[in-house]
Amino acid sequence: MKILVTVKRVVDANVKIRVKPDQTGVDLANVKMAINPFCEVAVEGAVRQREAGRATEVVAVSAGPASCQETLRTAMAIGADRAILVKTDVELQPLAVAKLLKAVAERERPMVVLLGKQAIDDDSNATGQMLAALLGWPQGTFISKLEFGDGVVTVQREIDGGLQTLSLTLPAVLTTDLRLNEPRYASLPNIMKAKRKPIEELTPEALGVDVTPRLKLIEMREPPARPVGQKVASVAELVARLRDEAKVI
């Protein structure tokens, strides 16, 4: 069983991001980048399946500029066997990524495509769902447990009301929640081995996918600074101000 696992390069979770002065997006010049934490969980999940003998190969795939190679090397240091980079400098939106992944999935024919449920940069939470629809495969999103059976995978999903268990027929698209596992620290020997593992490069053109953006970002702004807290003298005043000023009750 082959698992295709997706990785996205995003701003490191510890970086305090800033909006560009012209408000066209987040300033990414020289900020530290890292593998999206949800993708890291997905890679760890896939590698554990291979280590347990259930998966035979784990292929990491990323779409974006050449610098995504570094992110793919991170995935291979965790244990992915090889990697595919769909190289493009076009700004990618979820539907374009889903189409690229569909094309890659059709070449690679995995039993499972494992994605992070969302990326911490734009929090779209859309690519996995779109991919499942495009492939016509069943989907299990926000999973915190997975178990493979004969031609099926049973997943536990984190949903608003609690936990839901689904059984899906393979092949399937799965997206991970953070509680699926705790990713390991890559070992030094594996970091070095990752350097020698192959990264295949493809392009959207070669895959026959039009990645032209379809959504337009009009403006990006910092959220308004939170005003300092205020003390109220009594419960009555609190209620009055919640009603009259904040208009929340």
Partner 1 sequence: MPSYRAPLRDMRFQLEEVLGIESLRNLPGFADAGGDLVAAVLGESAKIAEEVLLPLNQSGDREGCRFADGVVTTPAGFRAAFRTFAEGGWIGLSGDPDYGAQGLPYVLATAVSEMMISANMAFSTYPGLIAGAIEAISRHGSAAQKRTYLPRLFKGEWGGTMNLTEPHCGTDLGLLRTRAEPRADGSYAITGTKIFISAGEHDLTDNIIHLVLARIAGAPAGTRGISLFIVPKYLVNGDGTLGARNGVACGSIEHKMGLRASATCVMNYEDATGFLIGEANRGMRAMFTMMNAARIGVGLQGLALSEIAYQNAAAYARERRQGRALTGPAFPDQPADPIIVHPDVRRMLMTMRAFTEGGRALLLRTALAIDLAHKDADAEARRDAEDYAALLTPVVKATLTDLGFESVNLGLQCFGGAGYIRETGMEQFVRDARITQIYEGTSGIQALDLVGRKLPAHTGRYLRQFFHPLDRFLQDEMANPALKEFVSPLARAFARLQQVTAWIGEEGLKDPEQAGAAAADYLRLFGLVALGHAWAGMAKVAAERLASGTAEAPFYTAKLATARFFMAKMLPDTAALQARITAGAAPVMALAAEAF
16, 29, 161, 248: residue in contact with partner 1 (rule CB under 8 A): 29
Q: Find the shortest distance in angstroms from Cβ 191 to partner 1.
A: 5
21, 189, 224, 229: residue in contact with partner 1 (rule CB under 8 A): 189
| Count of residues that bind partner 1 according to CB under 8 A | 19
Q: Structure tokens of 50? A: 């291979």
| Residues in 64-103 at the binding interface with partner 1, rule: CB under 8 A | 69-70, 73-74, 77
Task: Decide if 70 contacts 10 (C-beta within 8 A).
Answer: no
46, 101, 168, 194: residue in contact with partner 1 (rule CB under 8 A): 194
Q: Structure tokens of 130? A: 């779109």
186 lies in the binding site for partner 1 (CB under 8 A): yes
| Pairing mode, strands 172-176 and 112-116 | parallel
Q: Find the shortest distance in angstroms from Cβ 29 to partner 1.
A: 5
187 lies in the binding site for partner 1 (CB under 8 A): yes
Return d(Cα 153, Cα 36) in angstroms, integer.
24
| 218 or 228: CB nearest partner 1 | 228
State which amino acid sits at residue 246.
A
State which amino acid sits at residue 90.
V
192, 220, 238, 242: residue in contact with partner 1 (rule CB under 8 A): 192
| 43 or 146: CB nearest partner 1 | 43
> How far lies 2's CA from each of 11, 55, 162, in Å?
29, 6, 30
Reference 158, options 147, 146, 144; nearest CA is 144
230 lies in the binding site for partner 1 (CB under 8 A): no
Neighbours of 160 (CB within 10 A): 5
149, 161, 188, 208: residue in contact with partner 1 (rule CB under 8 A): 188
| 80 or 172: CB nearest partner 1 | 80
32, 221, 226, 247: residue in contact with partner 1 (rule CB under 8 A): 32
Between the two ends of the chain, the Cα-to-Cα distance in Å is: 55
Reference 58, options 77, 31, 32, 34; nearest CA is 77
CB-count exposure of residue 37 (10 Å: 0-12, 13-18, 19+): middle
| 30 or 234: CB nearest partner 1 | 30
User: Cα angle at 139 between 176 and 108, to 5 degrees?
Assistant: 85
| 14 or 212: CB nearest partner 1 | 14
| 52 or 188: CB nearest partner 1 | 188
Neighbours of 1 (CB within 10 A): 16
Binding interface with partner 1 (CB under 8 A): 14, 29-30, 32, 34, 69-70, 73-74, 77, 185-189, 191-192, 194-195
